[in-house]
Structures are given as C-alpha cells and as structure tokens.
Amino acid sequence: SQKIEQNSEALNIQEGKTATLTCNYTNYSPAYLQWYRQDPGRGPVFLLLIRENEKEKRKERLKVTFDTTLKQSLFHITASQPADSATYLCALRDTGRRALTFGSGTRLQVQP
C-alpha cells in the first residue's frame, strides 16, 4: 500500500541549531514533493517544492533534499528560532494523480 511517513514524535531542539525532518514514502512515483508549515488553528502554508530531477533546493534558512532511490526527502532549518516552532508536512504528487497527498506531519519545537 502507499505510505508517506513522517516522524510522529515531536522534535525538540535548541535555538540556533539545525532542525532536520524526514519524509519517507513507499509505492509512490512522485513527480515532485512539497513541504508545508502548519500553525495551530491555521491552514498549511507552502514552503518549498522540489522536483524528481532535483537533488536539493534552498530558500533562505531552509534546505530540502530529495533522494528518489532512497524514497526520502529531508527538510533542514538552519539557525533555528523559536518562531520556527510549528508542524511541518510533506506532500507529494504521484505521477498517476493530479492532487497532493500529505504526510501526517512532524511537530518542531525550538527552545530559546
């Protein structure tokens, strides 16, 4: 069966450190993968999109990698800040489908 797996346990890190979140998938052939941020009581907010032929994408303090062999994406936040505390969702578009499927998300808590 198809699965998108993100660590369900919260990730707690100290301010200034790099946060690394993992997204693994099985039985998908994604055309691209996206990362979203969700704050309590709000809808998800788009952060980054990485395509199947791209290895890495950066945007300010954010970096995403995409390994289609390992079927894994890593999401990094460098120099983390308490304001980065939120739930981060990965989502992918399967080549056989035109809509996004989301993982369950990982909650990040950055301690001051």
Partner 1 sequence: DAGVIQSPRHEVTEMGQEVTLRCKPISGHNSLFWYRQTMMRGLELLIYFNNNVPIDDSGMPEDRFSAKMPNASFSTLKIQPSEPRDSAVYFCASSLGDAEKLLFGSGTQLSVL
Residues that bind partner 1 (CB under 8 A): 32, 34, 36, 41-46, 49, 89, 93, 97-105
Q: Which is nearer to partner 1, 71 or 93 (CB)?
A: 93
* Least distance from partner 1 to the Cβ atom of residue 3, Å: 12
Letter string b/e over residues 11-34, b meaning 16 or more CB atoms within 10 A of that residue's CB: bebeeeeebebebbbeebebebbb
Strand, helix or coil for residue 98 = coil
Smallest CA-to-CA distance from 6 within 75, 109, 65, 80 is with 75
Q: Which is nearer to partner 1, 80 or 86 (CB)?
A: 86
| Residue 58 to residue 112: CA distance in whole angstroms | 25
* Least distance from partner 1 to the Cβ atom of residue 44, Å: 5
* Least distance from partner 1 to the Cβ atom of residue 25, Å: 14
